Amino acid sequence: MPAEFTQILPSAVPLSWYLVLSAILFTIGVAGFLFRRNIITVFMSIELMLNAVNLTFVAFSYHLKQVDGHIFSFFVMVVAAAEAAVGLAIILTVFKNRATLEIDEINSMKL
């Protein structure tokens, strides 16, 4: 790698870059949650948001030099796995009864 190239790019990354990346991913997840109408894609947007939060946990764990953030993101992964199992079972049942995946058509609980 040429020397001037390594001078432009710092060898250490600021912590805020990780946090900004996490914020960007979370915002994209919120946008997907709000804009998409396919229930599976909405579910995947939720997973994206959980991943973004995990990145913040791990980044702060590095900053504080403690392992607690890793434990928290581990618990978030466990909850996400449980949520995916139950949520996908609910989606299967809804599809069996309604034969649709559009969230606009699943509105029988609407006032």
Partner 1 sequence: MDALLFLTFAGIAVLCAINLVLQTHPISSALSLVGVMGSLAVLYLLLGGAFIAAVQLIVYAGAVMVLFVFVIMLLNAGAEQRRSRSSLSVWISVPLLFTFIILLASLIVSRTPPSAAVKFGEFTGGGVANVGRALFTTYLLPFEATSVLILVAILGAVVLARKEI
Among residue numbers 54 through 83, which ones bind partner 1 (CB under 8 A)? Answer: 54-55, 58-59, 61-63, 65-68, 70-71, 73-75, 77-83
Out of 10, 108, 109, 110, the only residue in the binding site for partner 1 (CB under 8 A) is: 10
The candidate with the shortest Cα–Cα distance to 54, out of 35, 70, 30, is 70
CA-to-CA distance for 93 and 87, rounded, in angstroms? 10
**Mask of contacts with partner 1, 79-108, x by CB under 8 A?**
xxxxxxxx-xxxxxx-xxx---xx------
Based on CB atoms, which residue is closest to partner 1, 83 or 106?
83
- Kindly tell me which of 82 and 110 has the beta carbon lying closer to partner 1: 82
Name the region of 14 (left: φ>0; alpha: ψ -120 to 50; beta: rest).
beta
Tokens 């997973």 identify what position?
47
